[in-house]
């Protein structure tokens, strides 16, 4: 039996990871801000799957909360076998907006907290000679839209760098890079989705299942579904000027 710690486990992709891991019998540690939702999610998963579920109420933009989660990851008496860094949100503010608080929050939650939690988990896992880390990036990492693309590009490249530092240690790192996923993400960020066709969307359970399968095989990048794998292939080969043009069109469609 393994233990997995998932950040942002109460909704969307994180909740899908929690369901998939509980279904395979893993004990869980769920992290998010909303205490009531955490308790309800833990009770439901514990009852449905008979696994032990711990919760940590933490705002990952707050350093003390991040350090508390990191301490749980490094607790040698209660090893964590899988870390899923998933908590995150969409960004709406322009780069030129004088109010940079949303960007600061994004860097704290989606970059700095990821770096601190990965460091803690990787130290403990390397000492045991095994472990898995999944960081939720995005296909936006290949684009150039606002601050979200730079943030997710950081997650992707950081995961590759961490994987290098852990090479040969028995600990693997996988960056999950999905396209559009139906979750609370767009509504929370005030991103309009009415014009996005149905075929574009990926199911959150499919994302979690593909990422877990990739992590089990020690794969570095997981892009769920064939159509988004094809999109990644095109983005890898396309001239960057074409990628910037497509990103401008995408950003303009949201304004
Ligand atoms: N949806 C997409 O189209 C898509 C595509 C590619 C990548 N992603 C990435 O997937 C990840 C999950 O997003 P989602 O689509 O599943 O979004 P979601 O449905 O809005 O879920 C976000 C989760 O993160 C938690 N969270 C948000 N801010 C937090 C904070 N400061 N501290 C701790 N927990 C926090 C939320 O719980 P609380 O509010 O209770 O804290 C919630 O559990 C994100 O990293 C996102 O960038 C999403």
* Tens-place pLDDT, residues 229-248: 999 999 999 999 999 999 99
- What's the pLDDT at 1? 76
- What is the chain's alpha carbon radius of gyration, rounded to the nearest angstrom? 18
pLDDT surpasses 80 at 255: no
**Number of domains the chain contains:** 1
* Residue span of the structural domain in which 69 resides: 3-254
Summarised one tens digit per residue, pLDDT across range 9-29 is 999 999 999 999 999 999 999
Instruction: Locate the ligand 1 atom nearest the alpha carbon of residue 180 and give its number.
Output: 3
Q: Does the beta carbon of 109 sit less than 6 angstroms from any atom of ligand 1?
A: yes
Q: Does the beta carbon of 184 sit less than 6 angstroms from any atom of ligand 1?
A: yes
The alpha carbon of 193 and the centre of ligand 1 are apart by a number of angstroms equal to 17
Residues serving a catalytic function are: 148
Ligand 1 atom 42: residue of nearest CA = 8
Q: Does the beta carbon of 89 sit less than 6 angstroms from any atom of ligand 1?
A: yes
Residue 42, beta-bridge partner list: none
Which CATH number belongs to the domain containing residue 130 in this structure?
Answer: 3.40.50.720
Summarised one tens digit per residue, pLDDT across range 106-157 is 999 999 999 999 999 999 999 999 999 999 999 999 999 999 999 999 999 9
Ligand 1 atom 36: residue of nearest CA = 8
- What's the pLDDT at 191? 87
Ligand 1 atom 44: residue of nearest CA = 88
């Amino acid at each position: 039996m393994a233990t997995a710690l998932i950040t942002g486990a109460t909704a969307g992709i994180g909740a899908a990871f929690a369901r998939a891991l509980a279904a395979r019998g893993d004990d869980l540690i769920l992290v998010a801000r909303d205490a009531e939702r955490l308790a309800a999610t833990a009770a439901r998963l514990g009852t449905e799957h008979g696994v032990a579920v711990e919760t940590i109420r933490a705002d990952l933009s707050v350093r003390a909360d991040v350090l508390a989660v990191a301490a749980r990851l490094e607790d040698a008496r209660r090893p964590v076998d899988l870390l899923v860094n998933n908590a995150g949100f969409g960004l709406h503010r322009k780069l030129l907006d004088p109010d940079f608080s949303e960007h600061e929050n994004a860097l704290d939650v989606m970059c700095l907290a990821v770096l601190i939690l990965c460091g803690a988990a990787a130290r403990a896992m390397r000492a045991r000679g095994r472990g898995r880390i999944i960081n939720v990036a995005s296909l936006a990492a290949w684009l150039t839209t606002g601050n979200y693309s730079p943030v997710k590009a950081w997650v992707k490249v950081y995961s590759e760098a961490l994987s290098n530092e852990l090479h040969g240690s028995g600990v693997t790192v996988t960056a999950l890079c999905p396209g559009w996923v139906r979750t609370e993400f767009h509504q929370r960020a005030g991103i309009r989705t009415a014009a996005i066709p149905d075929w574009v969307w990926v199911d959150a359970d499919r994302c979690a299942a593909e990422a877990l399968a990739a992590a089990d095989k020690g794969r570095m990048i997981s892009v769920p579904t064939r159509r988004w794998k094809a999109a990644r292939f095109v983005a890898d080969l396309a001239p960057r000027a074409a990628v910037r043009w497509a990103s401008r069109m995408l950003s303009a469609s949201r304004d």
